[in-house]
């Protein structure tokens, strides 16, 4: 299993390199609207993949389990961003909700 931090670093580098190469190759060309739309969705697709990897966790027996603290934290963040349009406070709210769910329902 690959370390999540290595995955984040590799995905960040690949996103950065693809953007730079795209800009260099297309600097004096008009960009096709379809290609421009594709590149606008790459960062959000990478973030969605990383978040889903944290929510749905494979076990050693091959089953998938859902991490409810991460799920509720992500939902709280998404709802907060939709309502308030403020990123940092929404992330803080999501972290607090995730910690509360973990400490209230999963404490030993």
| pLDDT tens string 74-106 | 999 999 999 999 999 999 999 999 999 999 988
Could you state, in order of their start, the residue ranges of all structural domains in the chain? 1-56, 67-108
Distance, CA of 58 to CA of 64 (rounded, Å): 4
Q: pLDDT band for position 64 (50/70/90)?
A: very high
Instruction: Tell whether pTM > 0.85.
Output: no
Residue 59 backbone zone (phi > 0: left; psi -120 to 50: alpha; other: beta):
beta
| Tokens, residue 51 | 């978040």
| pLDDT tens string 16-28 | 888 887 777 767 6
């Amino acid at each position: 299993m690959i370390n999540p931090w290595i995955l984040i670093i590799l995905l960040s580098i690949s996103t950065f390199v693809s953007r730079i190469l795209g800009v260099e190759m297309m600097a004096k060309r008009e960009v096709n609207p379809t290609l421009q739309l594709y590149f606008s969705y790459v960062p959000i697709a990478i973030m969605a993949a990383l978040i889903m990897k944290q929510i749905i966790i494979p076990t050693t027996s091959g089953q998938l389990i859902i991490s409810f603290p991460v799920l509720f934290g992500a939902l709280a963040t998404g709802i907060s961003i939709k309502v308030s349009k403020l990123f940092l406070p929404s992330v803080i709210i999501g972290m607090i909700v995730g910690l509360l769910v973990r400490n209230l329902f999963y404490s030993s």
